[in-house]
């Protein structure tokens, strides 16, 4: 029996929970052409799943060529160029022999590095990262390849805020220039660090200022998730208590990934004849926390004492405001307002803490619960 609570990879439409309005809006953007979009949400809230869900829609597949790249683990323009170039070759190059030939002819800086498949009789993207010796020039060639496609192209770049960490200067300006000049491609910029993405697209002095439509994802509502869980449990003649769903939702603050992970396990246990109740939910969440305990311990071990103290203060409050005020500093016995400022910069840089509407909170809900229970 197929478990309907998917936590990795593409999600079949029948197992996709809600996001109706967001899906319709993003699909319209993809099909309209001429519009770029920014999607901002905390990690594990479903932005990647939403993009792939829309890319898989029949009307999108019929009219648009879609590319998806995740640049979270890239650390330079060279790596970005490699990831984008590989996606362009593998997607566009498979459309036709002529398109593959056009790509190879256009990527002149890499032409000598392509491999060859003797069985299929076609070139392969056998390029290594070190083959990209002039990423600025190769990137220009890649954008030229996008212009040669007979179909309109939409490129989704996940964790787009990562480019601000590249050592090269003016990366934003470089990419903005290529994107602005692209007549055949539009872009979806997805990011999980709200403050960085906001600065990139809302600050007047930044190259991407007002260059895309903004969309922010919030947690799926409790009533929608209850409906989703009950539907799939009932369809398989399994029992789930409504208060168990709301209990999980409040413990996990509606985090899509953790909710799916929890009910995937609950579904499997219910197949064995058990009823999914609040106790089962607490046991599953405790087990997930235990599985992550070593990772959390290692993460905290990398922090300085002032960073750990501030992180504990934020964990204690859940949502912390005015963290440099004398009241906050005294209440949590922190060293000083200046040490808090230095610590919060690093915690946000590490992606451990995020801020929304002047409230600071730990992005990983389970990390917060683990800290409070340790």
Please write the tens of the pLDDT for every residue from 134-189: 999 999 999 999 999 989 999 999 999 999 999 999 999 999 999 999 999 999 99
Q: Whose structure tokens read 């936590």?
A: 7
Per-residue b/e over 206-224, b at no fewer than 16 CB within 10 Å? Answer: bbbeebbeebebebbeeee
Instruction: Return the beta strands (E) in 23-139 as ranges.
Output: 37-40, 64-70, 115-117, 122-124
Instruction: Return the beta strands (E) in 219-352 as ranges.
Output: none
Q: What is the per-residue pLDDT for 118?
A: 83
Mean pLDDT of 129-134: 94
Nearest to 217 by CA among 5, 15, 42, 26: 42
Residue 281 has which token pair? 């939910």
**pLDDT tens string 3-45:** 999 998 889 999 999 999 999 999 999 998 889 999 999 888 9
Is the CB of residue 282 less than 8 Å from the CB of residue 265?
Answer: no
Checking if the pLDDT of 271 tops 90, the result is: yes
Residue 266 to residue 254: CA distance in whole angstroms: 16
Instruction: Find how far residue 262's CA is from the centre of its chain.
Output: 20
Residue 283 to residue 184: CA distance in whole angstroms: 51
Checking if the pLDDT of 317 tops 90, the result is: yes
State which H helix or E strand residue 347 sits in: helix 337-349
Residue 157 to residue 71: CA distance in whole angstroms: 7
- Cβ-in-10-Å burial (0-12, 13-18, 19+) of 84 comes to buried
Mean pLDDT of 336-345: 96
Residue 3 CB-half CA count within 13 A:
16
pLDDT band at residue 225 under the 50/70/90 scheme = very high
pLDDT band at residue 190 under the 50/70/90 scheme = very high
Checking if the pLDDT of 97 tops 90, the result is: no
Residue 120's φ and ψ, nearest 5 degrees, are: -85, -20
Is the CB of residue 303 less than 8 Å from the CB of residue 311?
Answer: yes
pLDDT band at residue 349 under the 50/70/90 scheme = confident
Is the CB of residue 14 less than 8 Å from the CB of residue 268?
Answer: no
Chain-wide mean pLDDT for the chain? 94
- Cβ-in-10-Å burial (0-12, 13-18, 19+) of 118 comes to exposed
Mean pLDDT of 246-274: 96
Phi-psi category of 171—alpha, beta or left, where left has phi over 0 and alpha has psi -120 to 50? alpha
Q: Is-above-0.85 flag for pTM?
A: yes
Q: Residue 116: count other Cβ atoms within 10 Å of its Cβ.
A: 10
């Amino acid at each position: 029996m197929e478990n309907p609570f998917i936590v990795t990879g593409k999600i079949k439409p029948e197992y996709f929970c809600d996001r109706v309005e967001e899906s319709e809006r993003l699909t319209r953007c993809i099909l309209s052409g001429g519009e770029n979009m920014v999607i901002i949400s905390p990690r594990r809230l479903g932005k990647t799943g939403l993009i792939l869900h829309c890319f898989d829609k029949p009307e999108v597949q019929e009219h648009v060529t879609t590319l998806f790249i995740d640049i979270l683990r890239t650390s330079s323009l060279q790596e970005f160029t490699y990831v984008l170039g590989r996606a362009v070759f593998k997607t566009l190059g498979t459309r036709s022999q002529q398109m593959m030939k056009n790509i190879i002819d256009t990527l002149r800086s890499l032409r000598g590095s392509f491999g060859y498949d003797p069985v299929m009789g076609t070139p392969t993207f056998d390029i290594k990262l070190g083959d990209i010796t002039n990423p600025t020039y190769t990137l220009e060639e890649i954008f030229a390849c996008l212009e040669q496609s007979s179909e309109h192209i939409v490129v989704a770049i996940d964790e787009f805020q990562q480019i601000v960490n590249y050592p090269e200067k003016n990366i934003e300006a470089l990419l903005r220039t290529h994107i602005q000049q692209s007549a055949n491609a539009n872009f979806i910029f997805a990011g999980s660090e709200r403050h960085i993405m906001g600065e990139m697209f809302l600050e007047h002095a930044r190259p991407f200022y007002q260059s895309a439509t903004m969309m922010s994802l919030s947690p799926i509502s409790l009533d929608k998730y209850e409906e989703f869980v009950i539907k799939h449990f009932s369809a398989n003649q399994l029992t789930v208590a409504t208060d168990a769903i709301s209990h999980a939702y409040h413990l996990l603050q509606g985090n899509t990934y953790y909710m799916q992970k929890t009910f995937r396990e609950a579904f499997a246990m219910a197949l064995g004849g058990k009823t999914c109740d609040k106790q089962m939910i607490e046991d599953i969440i405790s087990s997930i926390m235990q599985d992550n305990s070593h990772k959390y311990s290692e993460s905290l071990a990398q922090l300085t004492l002032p960073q750990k103290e501030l992180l504990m203060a934020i964990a204690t409050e859940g949502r912390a405001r005015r963290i440099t005020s004398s009241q906050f500093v005294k209440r949590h016995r922190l060293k000083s307002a200046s040490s808090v400022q230095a610590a919060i910069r690093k915690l946000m840089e590490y992606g451990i803490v995020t801020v929304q509407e002047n409230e600071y909170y730990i992005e990983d809900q389970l990390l917060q619960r683990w800290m409070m229970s340790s």
